[in-house]
Amino acid sequence: MSRIEQTRRTLRVGSRELGPGPVLLGILNVTPDSFSDGGESLDPEAAAAHAAQMLDEGAHVIDIGGESTRPYAAPVGPEEEERRVVPVIQRILTSRPEAVVSVDTYRASTARAALAAGARIVNDVTALRGDPEMASVVAEASCPVVLMHMQGEPKTMQEDPRYGDVVREVGESLYARAEHAVSAGVAPENIVLDPGLGFGKTTEHNLQLLSRLGELTALGYPLLVGASRKGFIGRVTGTESAGDRVAGTAATSVLAYERGACLFRVHDVRENREALEMAAAVEGA
């Protein structure tokens, strides 16, 4: 079995198995200020309808976030984040009880409330750094957790990001965070790593991470890539509007899949699903 095949293992979520083929996380931001879709799904009914559309288009997971992590975004309070997220989870699972829901949060209190409401995965952009209680919440829930690399914090991360060797440094940081999670009781098979494209990285940093993604695959954990509609794609392709970066996102997903990524966090589910299905078919021919 190749190194890539090993890291593209099945991810168990309760009694469900995701993978080993491409796994799509449909982005559902219940925020007024996210960079691409802020304000579109603030109402729980609208959010549930959007989630249903993404599920119908092939999303394996709905990833719900109640606080924007776009560059220069200011944090919201934990009560407001929970108020935004929990009713949406409940509404989605009432109409689509088979759905797998992930909560995009770094706060233990929000994660705990979301898991109690039926979420099955925690996606933490701080890799368990943002809240000292998060590791124990994830460990106790025995749920998958995404550990993402970020230099700095959303409010300041894009001011002047610097690395000596971005791939080596991101890899070392992610491995250390995975070791921290395991030491806190998180099962290794529940850990997913995310290089954090756009989070404290320049366009060149993002391109280097994608080009050398195999070096992160070597860490031995499944990799999630979240490139959807991001600014570096716009700078490469000359597309100013985030909504015009769908083709660039799909291309990035395919390139990341070829280098070992197996989970993809995207706004445009159908387009990325079709691109990844073709990549997987060619690879398996």
Q: Kindly list the catalytic residues.
A: 230, 265
Report the alpha-carbon distance of residue 11 to residue 173 in Å, rounded. Answer: 22
Tell me the backbone φ, ψ of residue 164, rounded to 5 degrees. Answer: -80, -55
Q: Which tokens in the block code for residue 184?
A: 């806190």
CA distance 183 to 187: 9
Collect contacts of 37-42 with beta carbons under 8 A, ≥24 apart: 37/267, 38/68, 41/88, 42/84
Percent helix, strand, coil in the chain (nearest 5)?
A: 45, 15, 40
> Which residue, among 206, 219, 3, 16, has the nearest Cα to 99 in the 3D structure?
16
Distance CA 185, CA 42 (A): 35
Tokens at 273, concatenated: 């699903």
Sequence-separated (6 or more) residues with CB below 8 Å from residue 164: none
- The DSSP output letter for 170 is H
In the block, residue with structure tokens 């991810």: 11
Amino acid at 153: E
